[in-house]
Amino acid sequence: MMSYETPKTAGWRPYPRYPDPHVISLDPSFDSLTIFSAAVERLYTGCRWAEGPVYFGDGRYLLWSDIPNQQILKWEEETGAVSVYRKPSHLADGHTRDRHGMLVTCEHGRRLTRTEYDGTITILADSYQNRPLNSPNDVIVKSDGSIWFTDPPFGILGNYEGIKQESENKPAIYRLDPDRGELRIIADDIDGPNGLCFSPDERILYVVASRSTPNRTILAYDMSDDGSDINKNSRRVHIDAGKGGTPDGMRCDIHGNLWCGWGMGNEALDGVMVFNPKGKAIGRIALPERCANVCFGGVQRNRLFMAASQSIYALYVNTKGVNGG
């Protein structure tokens, strides 16, 4: 008879005594970002692959994608109830909110959409130069209202998180002006562009190069003076993830620290890694599952929500997330 170990996620419980040992300081500077009496909580489990959490403060709820199950799920903060927000989801992946509060969604169904106030869906982009997008992955909105998203081919490589198809455009970062409908490439020379975010002052764009070798990296670009583009000559490796390090999605706090979904290399790396503005690893949140994406939410934007494989986790922290992510 085949034997196997019970997964660590089975019967998972928050650590019963403070401080939670899953919140790990790698540098004394991380201590000021943690709360002694806050523990990692698991809000939901039962997904096939969770991605793209986004918080709605006006409704006190969290949305996220369960890509293989073709659904967007909704968790209500006051009751803890979880329900299906949208199904089918057109293979929704990453989400954010625009500066009018509407949901903006990357879909492995090869499009970028906006959910209007009445629930109708507007296609913002589904092609570039008359060729279909690959599989939009992660998305952020700048303070000027422009929408920036990555478009790697991950969702069209197979039939689990998408529909297997040929790529007709290079993997790229795009900028969309939603008022003018103008879509243009910001960069198409990144190996597997994945998660992205701006620094608090929007002077730096960070992006995960998830196919870079020998290790995954997080790149940094200085923004142009008018903020509508990047300075391509400023490209630099901000973080080398090292052997087995697998950053995915990330968000920035108001102090400029990067909170990065991490894992897949080995079990000891699963969770969230935190880096200061200089790219130094200062902290870690250990989870029993590989974490793909994070977002900040809660009434004070001081609750970190983590989409990790089959589950959603949360932790109160002593900082706040920046707007637009």
Mean pLDDT of the chain: 95
Tens of pLDDT, residue by residue over 68-90, are: 999 999 999 999 999 999 999 99
Tell me the β-bridge partners of 246: none
Distance of CA 300 to the CA centre of its chain: 19
Q: Which residue has the tokens 């209202």?
A: 145
Q: What is the pLDDT of residue 266?
A: 75
Average pLDDT over residues 304-319: 98
The residue among 176 and 8 whose pLDDT is bigger is 176
Using CB atoms within 10 A of its CB, is residue 212 exposed (0-12), middle (13-18) or buried (19+)?
middle
Q: Is the pLDDT at 5 greater than 50, yes or no?
A: no
pLDDT for 1 equals 42
Length of the chain: 325
- SS3 at position 68: coil
Q: How are strands ordered across the β-sheet holding 293-297?
A: 41-45, 311-316, 303-308, 293-297
State the average pLDDT over residues 262-274: 87
Q: By three-state DSSP, how is residue 141 classified?
A: strand
pLDDT higher than threshold 70 for residue 6: no
**pLDDT number for residue 268:** 84
Q: Which CATH superfamily is domain 23-316 in?
A: TolB, C-terminal domain (2.120.10.30)
- pLDDT at res. 114: 98
Nearest Cα to 89, choosing from 73, 78, 103? 73
139-178 confidence digits (pLDDT tens): 999 999 999 999 999 999 999 999 999 999 999 999 999 9
Rounded Cα distance between 296 and 251, Å, is 8
Q: Is the peptide bond before 88 cis (omega within 30 degrees of 0)?
A: yes
Q: Rounded to an integer, what distance in angstroms lies between the CA atom of residue 52 and that of residue 63?
A: 8
Does position 4 have pLDDT exceeding 80, yes or no? no
**pLDDT tens column, 182-239:** 999 999 999 999 999 999 999 999 999 999 999 999 999 999 999 999 999 999 999 9
Instruction: State yes or no: pLDDT of 278 exceeds 90.
Output: yes
Contact by Cβ (8 Å): 198, 250: no
pLDDT, tens digit, for every residue of 195-210? 999 999 999 999 999 9
Which pLDDT value is given to residue 42?
97
Give the CA angle between residues 148, 75, 5 to the nearest 5°.
Answer: 100
Paired tokens of 160: 């689990």
Residue 62 pLDDT > 80 = yes
Q: Could you tell me if 289 and 46 are in contact, meaning their C-beta atoms sit under 8 angstroms apart?
A: no
Confidence of residue 323 (pLDDT cuts 50, 70, 90): confident
Instruction: Single out the residue of 55, 48, 94, 54 nearest to residue 70, CA to CA.
Output: 48
| pLDDT of 8 higher than 70 | no
pLDDT of residue 238: 98
Q: Where are the domains of the chain?
A: 23-316
User: In this predicted model, what pLDDT tens digit does every residue of 44-57 receive, in sequence order?
Assistant: 999 999 999 999 99
